[in-house]
Structure 1
Amino acid sequence: MWTEPPPPPAYITPEPDISGEIESIRQDLAEIRDERNRIYIDELRRMEIERIVTDMIIDSQDRSFGSGRPWNEIASEDGSFTMEFGMYTQSSWSLNQTQGETAERGFQVDTVRITFEGTIIDPTWSYQTRLTYSPDSPGYMQFAFVQKDLGNGAFVQMGLLEPPFSLEESIDNNQQLGVCLSFTAGQWDAQSIPGVTLGWSSDDLRGWVSITDAWGGEQNSFFPNRRQVIIARGEWKPFGDWNDLYDFNPYPETVAPGMLVGIGAAQGWGSAAIGTPSEYTGPDTRLTADLSLQRPGLGGMATISWQSNVPLNPLDGGGDRLAVVSQVGWFLDPKFELYARGEWGRTTNVGVEASDLGVMTLGFSWMPLSNRQIKFSAEFMQIWGDARYWRIDGDPGIRQIDDPQSIVRAQLQLSF
């Protein structure tokens, strides 16, 4: 009779499960191998990302600094097309206190402009386009023209222009002194008008002659326009730099001593009814002369302007005018500037008796970067006389009334 074998004695250890332990070790090795592979792959990815970022930085430097172009400019590989982008903003707060009237105060976006400029075809062909927002308009094309360099300093422009006439209206907003241009400057602003300009420039002399539609803008069609105007400006620079003399802020670290003498003349004729409720006609004449002097940290400008026979109705700012402006800017250090401006104006042949206008402005500007990129200005303005019949060119805080006005204005400007 068969029987089960007896169990082994208690002191004898059973055989271990070798295959199970081997399988466990294999699993541990696989996990270690997977973890090492994951770390290796992550390291490869990190190195690849670093390489891509480095290549992008190097490529960006080659496109800007390496190519000699600014960071905000793009260009085709052969350089036949370039486009540079610029932006500028002005935002202000104003307080107007007039005797017997409720004080007015508040914020205002004075200017927002976006500019595109560059070359096409070859460096002798260039273009400029600017879109602008102002309190008077939700947005408009300030200028858009194509320019052809003719050689020997001569060039021709055609399109929507801002023909050079007075010095104040020829400079950019970020080159003005303080919060705004003089109050009377807007009276001699040709604004945006279509036409053609022939210009010439040398080391010491330059000038422009423009043939355009009627003075005052708001015209981009030949119908029903039958009015033309010739606008001319000439400048003489005995010494200095053209660009420095077109900036009313004489930065002490960058501006060279200079002197600029300018004259402008305009004559219009014919009739027009674009941008006005009714047709207007008759000749009109405008003249201006200016003198600028500057040295590092100190600069001044004086101008006299006159107009005659400008149709009063329906135009804004018609009649006969005479105005004188004088201003000075003085840097206490490379970041802080004091400035002052005085104005006088007389209005005649506007259908009513208007007293002479007087304006005094005192203020300061702070430029933390010692240039025009960031500028904070604050000023006090006092107005005497009749301001009702002058054409305002975006001056914040001013009322067109025949009473004395006290105005406090502060403004932040950003430009690149």
Structure 2
Amino acid sequence: MRIGRTGGLLGVTATLLTASAQGQDATAMEEMARRLADIEKQNETLKTRVNELEAADSSDWLTQERAGQIRGVVTDVLADAETRVSLQSSGMTAGWDDGFFLASPDGRFRLEVGGMVQVRYMDSSIREGWPPFDDQGQQQPAFGPEDDVTSRGGFDIPHARLDFKGHVFGPDTRFRVQGQFANERPNSIQLYSTPVAASSPENGSSNGAFELLDAYILQEVGNGWAVRFGQFKLPFDRGWEVPIASQLTGERNTVALHMGLGRSQGVELAWSGDSTRMRVAFSDGANDRIFDTYHFSTTQPLNSPYNFTQAELAFSGRVEFKLAGNWQEFDSMTSPPGSEMGVLLGVGAHWQQSKVMLNPTSYNQTPGSGYNDWFALTGDLTWNLGGGSITASAYYHNISSSASYLYFGFQPIGNSNPTFDAGNVAMFGASLYGSMYLSADFEAFVGFDYMEVVDNGNLGSLANTPPAPSDFYGAFADTGSFQSITAGGTWYLDGNDLKWGFSASYYPRSIAPAWTTIETGVRSTPVSDAYTIRTYVQLMF
């Protein structure tokens, strides 16, 4: 029985093994067939490619043009790789981010290099200059601060600037050094009874000299507060807050040039919030240019050394209220189409106390214990419309000047230069400008400027001063109001970075010597209907 059972089991086992072997053989055959099919397909593909290459072998498929293109690409890649290796080895990065920059890889140190070039043509025309004699045949005590030439025009470069700014040890410690190549020659004062005398322009530089404008260190201290040390624009009015490159007409308007404070040296405290910001400065005083060359406070602090004392005390401040929009859109006097609607209200004040310092060897010409006190107020409103803008500004200056004088050249006329007690003199100025984009990149504008003396103080007595050099002073005895109407347009080829502008200004009244403004082409004339035309091209980099 056991033998029979054992034989049966062996038979069943043999049958199962035979069936399993047959199944495995079938699977192996199928796999082999699949691989052979794949190999045949690959052979066909390779055969086709070989045929194509053999067919193209007789043609010059790599032409000289393609070879040149490939060489150019290889050269560019190698140059870029070499530059990257050089920067990596020096631990620096460089490039363009709305301006050229050089920075450390960790971002703690950054230097931005920029500037601007503005090329202008301007023609200033007057119907006649100051006549040597009045209607009664008496010699005129007044004079023309430029000359009696009816038309003066030509090309110039009013703004050629280099600007270096950035931060060190992190974004909280910032710096800026900016200068320009001055294009101004001294004005000429024509007095018919004497030779022509030279008078200094605002910036006091000879032709082409490099002049420092801004040089400061700014430290963020947290919670919106910052402290700035150095030379900078005093906080006062919007006309000076907005850079030259972003002005509507390519230049500050005539009122802002006379009524603004300009730059000074000192320390400034600033705070900025979501809808309010303010700045307060303690400085060497403001640039006295209310009357062109006749100085009431006598301070010219730009680039002055410590031993040439300016104001003994001087405080300036400005507060801005953002009623709508964002802060960035008020960095320019224009509001391109698509910009957010914004409203900005600004107010400013200035007070300073000073004595007259004609030169280092004759320190104080202010009589007794008197001072020249200067108080100023301003207010402005800007309405950006997103395709247009309206800007209005008003100024008031009150100066109690016990020692005023007329400034000649880089130094006054030495110790013999007479000072005059002008008493209490007050001036008012206002400007209104509006613009509208007629297309996506062309903007038209119109503006009005006005200045007047509201309190003449003792200036009327200047008409009775003794002979030279005091007879020059008679030109400022009776200063009439200034009015101008300006219209023009700007074609923005690439925003403010590249633009072409043109404008014309008309002066419906006579222009007193006090309102002479070389930057805008304003020349004094005893008659009405003077005009200025100007056009410029500006590039920022």
TM-score, length-scaled by structure 2: 0.63
Displacement, 1:191? Answer: 2.5
Local SS of the residue matching 1:353: coil
1:180-224 residue CA offsets vs partner (Å, 9 max, x unmatched): 221111123323321000000001000000000122123533324
How large is the RMSD of aligned CA atoms in angstroms? Answer: 2.8
Local SS of the residue matching 2:167: strand
1:348-386 residue CA offsets vs partner (Å, 9 max, x unmatched): 4244122111110010111122x1111111111012233
Local SS of the residue matching 2:437: strand
| 2:427 aligned residue | 321
Q: Which moved more, 1:347-356 or 1:82-91?
A: 347-356
Local SS of the residue matching 2:234: coil
Local SS of the residue matching 2:166: strand
| 2:505 aligned residue | 381
| 2:28 aligned residue | none
- Structure 1 position 356 matched with structure 2 position 481: yes
Displacement, 1:103? Answer: 1.6
Question: If each structure's strand is expressed as a fraction of its own residues, which one has the higher value?
Answer: 1
Indicate if the aligned counterparts of 2:214 and 2:232 stay in contact, CA closer than 8 A: yes
1:311-350 superposed matches below 5 A: 311=401, 313-314=404-405, 319-347=425-453, 348-349=455-456, 350=459
Displacement, 1:388? Answer: 1.5
Q: 1:408 aligns with which of 513, 529, 533?
A: 533
Indicate if the aligned counterparts of 1:303 and 1:325 stay in contact, CA closer than 8 A: yes
Shift in CA distance, 118/286, structure 1 to aligned 2, threshold 3 Å? same
Shift in CA distance, 64/330, structure 1 to aligned 2, threshold 3 Å? farther
Residue ranges of structure 1 left out of the alignment (5+ in a row): 1-41
Q: 1:180 aligns with which of 232, 251, 263?
A: 251
Distance 1:299 1:45 in 2: 53
| 2:63 aligned residue | none
| 1:170 aligned residue | 241
Q: 2:106 aligns with which of 43, 68, 78?
A: 78
Shift in CA distance, 218/403, structure 1 to aligned 2, threshold 3 Å? farther
Shift in CA distance, 224/179, structure 1 to aligned 2, threshold 3 Å? closer
Distance 1:129 1:303 in 2: 29
Distance 2:483 2:80 in 1: 61
Shift in CA distance, 46/406, structure 1 to aligned 2, threshold 3 Å? closer
| 1:4 aligned residue | none
Question: If each structure's helix is expressed as a fraction of its own residues, which one has the higher value?
Answer: 2
| 2:391 aligned residue | 301
Displacement, 1:246? Answer: 2.7
Indicate if the aligned counterparts of 1:64 and 1:70 stay in contact, CA closer than 8 A: no
Q: Which moved more, 1:191-200 or 1:396-405?
A: 396-405
1:92-150 residue CA offsets vs partner (Å, 9 max, x unmatched): 11112211353211111111111111101222111011012233322211010001101
Shift in CA distance, 274/177, structure 1 to aligned 2, threshold 3 Å? farther
Q: 1:291 aligns with which of 359, 372, 381?
A: 381
Indicate if the aligned counterparts of 1:63 and 1:69 stay in contact, CA closer than 8 A: no
Displacement, 1:63? Answer: 4.2
Aligned length in residues: 368
TM-score, length-scaled by structure 1: 0.81
Distance 1:375 1:46 in 2: 34
Distance 2:348 2:150 in 1: 41
Q: Which moved more, 1:243-252 or 1:208-217?
A: 243-252
Distance 2:235 2:175 in 1: 17
1:50-104 residue CA offsets vs partner (Å, 9 max, x unmatched): 54134258789x9467xx9556010123322110011112221111221135321
Local SS of the residue matching 1:126: strand
Indicate if the aligned counterparts of 1:92 and 1:396 stay in contact, CA closer than 8 A: no
| 1:189 aligned residue | 260
| 1:156 aligned residue | 227
Displacement, 1:274? Answer: 7.0
Residue ranges of structure 2 left out of the alignment (5+ in a row): 1-67, 129-148, 185-204, 288-300, 408-421, 461-476
Indicate if the aligned counterparts of 1:214 and 1:272 stay in contact, CA closer than 8 A: no
Shift in CA distance, 329/229, structure 1 to aligned 2, threshold 3 Å? same
Local SS of the residue matching 2:307: coil
| 1:29 aligned residue | none
Local SS of the residue matching 1:300: strand
Distance 2:76 2:251 in 1: 48
Q: 2:280 aligns with which of 209, 212, 231?
A: 209
| 2:10 aligned residue | none
Q: Which moved more, 1:87-96 or 1:383-392?
A: 383-392
| 2:146 aligned residue | none
Indicate if the aligned counterparts of 2:180 and 2:213 stay in contact, CA closer than 8 A: yes
Shift in CA distance, 86/358, structure 1 to aligned 2, threshold 3 Å? same
Indicate if the aligned counterparts of 2:275 and 2:322 stay in contact, CA closer than 8 A: yes
Shift in CA distance, 150/50, structure 1 to aligned 2, threshold 3 Å? closer
Distance 1:314 1:359 in 2: 27
Indicate if the aligned counterparts of 1:231 and 1:266 stay in contact, CA closer than 8 A: yes
Shift in CA distance, 248/71, structure 1 to aligned 2, threshold 3 Å? closer
1:121-140 superposed matches below 5 A: 121-136=169-184, 137=205, 138-140=209-211
Indicate if the aligned counterparts of 1:300 and 1:329 stay in contact, CA closer than 8 A: yes
Give the residue type in structure 2 aligned to 1:314. Answer: Y
